[in-house]
Structure 1
Amino acid sequence: MAMTIPQSMRASQWSTIKGGIEKNLRVNTSAKLPKNANSLPADHTLVKVAYTTPNPIDTKVAEFFPFLLSKPATPCLDFSGTVVATTLAHLKPGELVFGKTEPPAFGALGEYVVVGKAGCVPVPNGVSLKQAACVGVTGLTSYQCIAPYVKAGDKVFINGGSGGTGTFGIQIAKALGCHVTTTCSGPNVELCKSLGADEVIDYRSNDVLSTLKRSGKQYDLFYDTVWASPALYWNSQHYLKPSARFVTIAGSPSIGTVVELLKVFLWPTMLGGGQRKFVFHTATSKAADYEAIAKMMAEGKVKAVIEKEFELEQADQAFAHLKSGRTKGKLLVRVGGES
Structure 2
Amino acid sequence: MATLATRPSTMKAAQWGSSVGGIERNIQVVDVPLPLAPDATRLPAESTLVRVAYSSLNPVDYKFPELPFIGGRINHILGSDFAGTVVSTTLPDISPGQRVFGMTKIPAFGALAEYAMVHGSQGIAPVPDGVPLRDVAALGVAGLLAYQAIVPFVREGDKVFVNGGSGGIGHYAVQIAKILGCSVTATCSGPNLDLVKSLGADDVIDYRNTDVVAYLQSQGTQYTVLFDTVSTPAIYWSAHHYLKPSGSYNCIPGDTNFATVYSMAAMFLLPVCLGGGQRKPKFIARRLDAAHYAELATWVKEGRLKTAVEHEYELDAAAEAFARLKSGRTRGKLLIRVAEE
Shorter-chain TM-score: which interval?
over 0.9
* 1:32 corresponds to: 33
The within-5 A match list for 1:67-106 is 67=70, 71-106=74-109
The reply to whether residue 239 of structure 1 matches residue 242 of structure 2 is yes
Contact 1:311 1:333 survives alignment (8 Å): yes
Structure with bigger helix share is 1
What's the offset of the Cα at 1:69?
Answer: 8.4
Contact 2:251 2:283 survives alignment (8 Å): yes
What's the offset of the Cα at 1:6?
Answer: 2.2
Q: Distance in 2 between matches of 1:126 and 1:159?
A: 33
The reply to whether residue 249 of structure 1 matches residue 252 of structure 2 is yes
Q: Percent identity?
A: 51
The within-5 A match list for 1:1-339 is 3=3, 4-29=6-31, 31-34=32-35, 38=40, 39-65=42-68, 67=70, 71-115=74-118, 116-228=120-232, 230-338=233-341
Report SS of the residue matched to 2:328.
Answer: coil
Query: Aligned residue pairs: how many?
Result: 336
Q: In structure 1, give the amino acid aligned to 2:11.
A: M
Report SS of the residue matched to 2:92.
Answer: coil
Report SS of the residue matched to 1:321.
Answer: helix
Q: In structure 1, give the amino acid aligned to 2:126.
A: P
Deviations 1:9-62 (A, max 9, x none): 110112122211111111112x02225784422221110110001110011011
TM-score of the pair, normalised by structure 1: 0.95
Q: Distance in 2 between matches of 1:71 and 1:130?
A: 30
Report SS of the residue matched to 1:118.
Answer: coil
Deviations 1:54-82 (A, max 9, x none): 11001101111563787321110000000
Contact 2:18 2:72 survives alignment (8 Å): no
Contact 1:17 1:66 survives alignment (8 Å): no
What's the offset of the Cα at 1:272?
Answer: 2.8
Of 276-285 and 196-205, the range deviating more from structure 2: 276-285
Report SS of the residue matched to 2:70.
Answer: helix
Q: Distance in 1 between matches of 2:23 and 2:262?
A: 26
Contact 2:19 2:72 survives alignment (8 Å): no
What's the offset of the Cα at 1:2?
Answer: 7.6
Report SS of the residue matched to 1:258.
Answer: helix
Q: RMSD of the TM alignment (CA)?
A: 1.7
Q: Distance in 1 between matches of 2:15 and 2:43?
A: 23
Contact 2:161 2:186 survives alignment (8 Å): yes
Q: Distance in 1 between matches of 2:125 and 2:134?
A: 15
Q: Distance in 2 between matches of 1:253 and 1:280?
A: 15
Report SS of the residue matched to 1:106.
Answer: coil
Contact 1:41 1:87 survives alignment (8 Å): yes
Of 125-134 and 173-182, the range deviating more from structure 2: 125-134
Structure-2 change in CA distance of 1:2 and 1:93 (3 Å): farther
Deviations 1:159-183 (A, max 9, x none): 0000100111111111111110000
Contact 1:69 1:104 survives alignment (8 Å): no
TM-score of the pair, normalised by structure 2: 0.95
